Chains A and B, each alone.
Chain A
Amino acid sequence: MPDFEVVVVGAGPAGSIAALSLARLGHSVCLLERGPFPGSKNVYGGVIYGRILDELIPHWWEHAPVQRWITRRGTMLLTDHQSLCIDYRSTAWAQAPYNGATAYRPDFDKWLADEAVKAGATLVSSTTATGLVRTNRGLVGGVKTDREGDLMANVVIACDGVNSFLAKEAGLYPNFSKDHLTLGVKEVLALPRQEIEARFGIRSGTNEGADLEIVGGTQGIAGGGFVYTNLDTISIGAVLSLGGLSASKVRPEEVIAGLKAHPSLAPLVDGAELKEYSAHLIPEGGFDAMPEVVGDGLLVAGDAAGLCLAAGLWLEGVNYAIGSGKCAADAVHEAIAKGNFSKAGLVSYKDRLEATFVLRNHRKTRKAAHLLLSDRLQNRYPQIACDLLEQLYTVEDPLPKRGALTIGRALWKGSGLRIRHALRDGRDALKIYG
């Protein structure tokens, strides 16, 4: 006799939503968390997009512990002394139902887990799942924990994060590799509220916020950076490909220091006091690096399933965690009704993911990781774009002005890049964003 119908391992967004949905469907569900409270181990790099929550928690924006609502979204290209920013601002995002929000994950994740507990889930924190328990029929029938006694259930949903030891133990993650991972490092810097609003051009006294994503400026390591505003802190960080990082001689915190010293970012963070330094791995491999998400008696969701959209213009993760958690709950609900907890009984999870934004977006952007971490996208194109604008904007009287095409052609020639590479990149970009 299992202790619960379902055990959800990990009380992050994926786990909490899976537990919340299952509890609402009337199932007994245990939500296992290894931290002292949900969210205590979690770090992210930007924005929570909450549209997927509308249905699950109506008017969630009135309750969620949000720092600021994003009304300014920028993509910056950095070279060592130049920067080019596509800077979009909209007051439409400052009203319900909002577009994106910044939050502290220890606050946000705890809130989501508390919602699951309100719905009837049992939260057990400070308990690490150390392995899977198999039934005599070979199905996963529970988890071993670092406490005395195992936790038995009909189905286990592994939402145990990017390192997912459970998915690996079940043999669902044979292609786990550093090539599909990036390291996010972040500093949270304290500044007075008004100062943040002034520096980021946010209407003062509001809880509107800015999120700037950065390409370049990572000292030759493939990756990127980000800066975003919280109420009275700024978060600035870098996302670094593990392959690039381990081959370089630059340490992660030095990359952040480099970003903070960049002439276009230094004025934003100057004089701010470090409140917290943090780091986390990010599964940026995309669609092709995903593990199997369905096993016998086991589903994998969230970061553990490699769900994270790192596609330049789109940098999302929490919403996919929530979406996959919801799909997992629905699939488990169906499996319980049928009484079939084997892989065949749970396979509707994969179909549900395919039918929703979760896998469709990942499939659409499957070439993004490869494209965005390439040297051309990381260094060469930003350099050409910045140089083009520099020469266009520089007034060189008495020399006559050269047109953009002339400058562009000269820069292209000088760069030594091949037209066919650019065409291929353009085709990939069209597939992703077109």
Chain B
Amino acid sequence: MKIAACIKWVALRPDIDPLSGSVETDDRFSGVSAADQAAVEWALRMGEAWGASVTVATVGASIAESALRDALACGATTAIRIDIEHPLPSAAVGRELAAALADADLIVCGDWSLDRGSGSVPPFLAHARGAEQACGLVALSLDATGVVRAERRLDGGRRERLIVRAPAVLAVEGSTARLRRAPLGGVLSSARSSIDVRTPSTPNPAEPVRLVHARPFRPRTKIVDGPHGSVRDRSNALLGMGSTRTPPQRLVLDPEVAAEHILAALHAWGEIDDPASAEGQ
């Protein structure tokens, strides 16, 4: 059994100039997101529960190795870095990870990264591996070897319970687990561990979508009509002055006749279409 976790080195506290929109990042304020940390933690738990090896992988520049070393310090077995200088599109990242983790049975990813945030790498990775995918997981529990029971977030606050069997790609949310604190021995040995650095299999993947030009979002002008009528008319209309109004009536009727009255009233208020058709239903 082989488990893998995928992480991404991102700026955790980017400095965004409100005027120019330029983004400044600082390696000291960068790292991996809570979701990616949860992914590493789940991979380690699976490794412990099932006696499996745990590989951590990232696609990124050499600075990302410090995040890999953190994972090694926590107990991961091996670390792979696919060396790129510039960010790749998600599909290419998915392909690169699939190639590097070809022998992994279960791959755990963070649900989405903090910088791009589309959450599309796990599905691309699953597609490239030809594996099942379970994304947006908010709760997990480990079952027999290679089997995970998971709960997935759906729209409208609904949940979906899944049983996922290897081979599969799981994408977990940050709230599912907190990454353990690495023991001192792990920290010391991880500083000396070697990291498997690979060159991308497709050096310059064709970008399916190329950004030609972007400009800041400017909402379209919305034309709002000015008020009609005089101030007096409008305040009268608001207060209901001058308009005729039927005073409430108290009727004592047989149930059948009363129902007809109610239906007629509902129709008059526009709540139902037609008393006759409503009666038919």
Contact = CB atoms under 8 A, between A and B. Distances in A.
Q: Do A and B come from one complex?
A: yes
Contacts of B191: 122, 124
B28 A145 contact: no
B187 A3 contact: no
Contacts of B184: 124, 127, 145, 147-151
B183 interface: yes
A37 interface: yes
Nearest to A36: B28
Contacts of B28: 36-37, 40, 106, 110
A122 B185 CA distance: 13
A64 to B, nearest CB: 17
Interface string A65-107: 0000000000000000000000000000000000000000010
Size range of the interface on B? Answer: under 10
Interface centre among A106, A122, A146, A147 (most CB of B within 10 A): A147
- Interface residues of B, dominant DSSP: helix
Contacts of A110: 28
B188 A148 contact: no
Contact of B187 (A36, A37, A40, A127): A127
Interface in A124-173: 124, 127, 145-151
Nearest to B29: A36
Interface string B157-189: 000000000000000000000000111110110
A240 B143 CA distance: 60
Contacts of A36: 28
Interface centre among B28, B182, B185, B191 (most CB of A within 10 A): B28
A324 B188 CA distance: 27
A122 B191 CA distance: 9
Contacts, number: 31
Contacts of A3: 188
A127 B186 CA distance: 12
Interface in B84-131: none
B41 to A, nearest CB: 16
Nearest to B182: A147
Interface residues of A, number: 17
A70 to B, nearest CB: 26
Nearest to A3: B188
B183 A122 contact: no
Interface string B186-225: 0110010000000000000000000000000000000000
A89 B40 CA distance: 57
Given A36-B28, A40-B28, A124 B188 contact: yes
Nearest to A146: B181
A36 B26 CA distance: 13
Contacts of A148: 181, 183-185
A40 B27 CA distance: 13
Contacts of B182: 147
Interface in B56-109: none
A111 B273 CA distance: 77
A433 to B, nearest CB: 40
Nearest to B191: A122
Interface centre among B181, B183, B188 (most CB of A within 10 A): B188
Contacts of B183: 147-149
Nearest to B73: A147
Interface centre among B181, B187, B191 (most CB of A within 10 A): B187
Nearest to A144: B184
Interface in B118-158: none
Interface string A1-16: 0010000000000000
29 contacts: A3-B188, A30-B188, A36-B28, A37-B28, A40-B28, A106-B28, A110-B28, A122-B188, A122-B191, A124-B184, A124-B188, A124-B191, A127-B184, A127-B187, A145-B184, A146-B181, A147-B181, A147-B182, A147-B183, A147-B184, A147-B187, A148-B181, A148-B183, A148-B184, A149-B183, A149-B184, A149-B185, A150-B184, A151-B184
Given A37-B28, A149-B183, 16 more contacts: A3-B188, A36-B28, A106-B28, A122-B191, A124-B184, A127-B184, A127-B187, A146-B181, A147-B181, A147-B182, A147-B183, A147-B187, A148-B181, A149-B184, A149-B185, A150-B184
Q: Nearest 5 CB-CB pairs, A to B?
A: A148-B183, A149-B184, A147-B184, A37-B28, A149-B185
